Chain A
Amino acid sequence: MIVANRKPFEELLEFIKPYSKILLLGCNECVTVCATGGAKEVAILASELKMHREKEGRPIEIMEHVLERNCDPEYVESLKPMVGDYEMVMSMACGCGIQFVAEHYREKLVLPAVNTTFDGVTEEHGVWSERCLGCGNCILDKTLGICPVTRCAKSLFNGPCGGSQGGKCEVDKDTPCGWQLIVDRLKEMNMLDKYMEIQPLKDWSTSRDGGPRRRVREDLKI
């Protein structure tokens, strides 16, 4: 899923400063699962903003609305009848959703209420961590299911670096060293000799470095 974090409250107050009637948008997909921008979080943020503005003596009307998805046109278009009633849209969807809504409603200011952070998993309730950078050229076959591009702070292909200690990354003592995980896995699978293969240079053209990516399936186009 795409994981996001809510932006600092002060920043959001600045965004809505000039307005008195806004649409606060959420999404039922990833940001609901990572407890950042689902119906619940939309309600909490709306309540907080309303109370703050009420206290300031400048009440604000906030319409809470949660789309099934913010990244598909059919859902985004469903906003059409309501968008015009609000001075601006603040969205708790991920960066994709925010952009897609902005693309559809060009006359409307659409601002982010979250910082979109990574593609990850739920490690346990309330804990999420990164797994994939979307480099477009998967090498998980070589590293037995642990991605060095994502899980090594230096994206080393022939790691670990000299800063791996006690299984942790030098960058953060709470982050496992990706290469320690790979070595452990190679050992478990009795394939440690695979470590001796020098991984060749990566073709980054399939990654974001090759420019924004697009996928077309002609057979599916209507």
Chain B
Amino acid sequence: MRLTYPTNVKVLKVPCTGRVDVIHILKAFENGADGVYVAGCLEGECHYLVGNLRAKKRVGYAKQLLEECGIGGERVAMYNLSSAQGQRFAAIALEMTEKIRQLGPNPMKKGSRVMGHGSRENESQEQVARTEAKS
């Protein structure tokens, strides 16, 4: 299909989104990611039955935690798609990148800049970590 999607998306593979824990999402932000989305199989199609449903709940909890600590819950999202949906995969990558671009860089990095050890380049390098489900 030779579809293109934004280069700022860094893909992290896991056997199933059921493997994704809240701490993985938080660590991505702690390490400077501007947004994180979890891409799981379609609901009802999980090879492990409910892995993607658990991931959905954990993403929900991570949203709360990110809201609480001032990073912003809207920077994390859950998507569901099948491995046959290449078009959708590219569209989601674009959509999420656009959303995060509008939100601006991870606010934690602004704080570092005040302290003098952040850099402006960070702003143009939105990182979106993505975890992929194996279908």
Contact = CB atoms under 8 A, between A and B. Distances in A.
Interface residues of B, number: 19
A51 to B, nearest CB: 5
Contact of A56 (B21, B65, B71, B111): B111
A47 interface: yes
B115 A57 contact: yes
A50 B70 CA distance: 11
Interface in B18-33: 21-23, 26-27, 29-30
A48 B111 contact: no
Quick one: which of B21, B29, B110, B111 has the most chain A CB within 10 A? B111
A58 B115 CA distance: 8
Q: Is the interface of A mostly helix, strand, loop or mixed?
A: helix
A54 B114 CA distance: 10
B112 interface: yes
B110 A44 contact: no
Given A57-B112, A57-B114, A57-B115, A51 B70 contact: yes
Contacts of A50: 30
A52 B115 CA distance: 14
Q: Is the interface of B mostly helix, strand, loop or mixed?
A: helix
B70 A44 contact: no
Contacts of A56: 111
A75 interface: no
B84 interface: no
Nearest to B22: A44
A19 interface: no
A55 B23 contact: no
11 contacts: A40-B23, A44-B26, A47-B29, A48-B65, A50-B30, A51-B30, A54-B108, A55-B70, A55-B71, A57-B112, A58-B115
Interface of A: 9, 40, 43-44, 47-59
When A and B form their complex, which 5 residue pairs have the shortest distance between CB atoms, in order from nearest? A57-B114, A47-B26, A48-B69, A55-B111, A52-B69
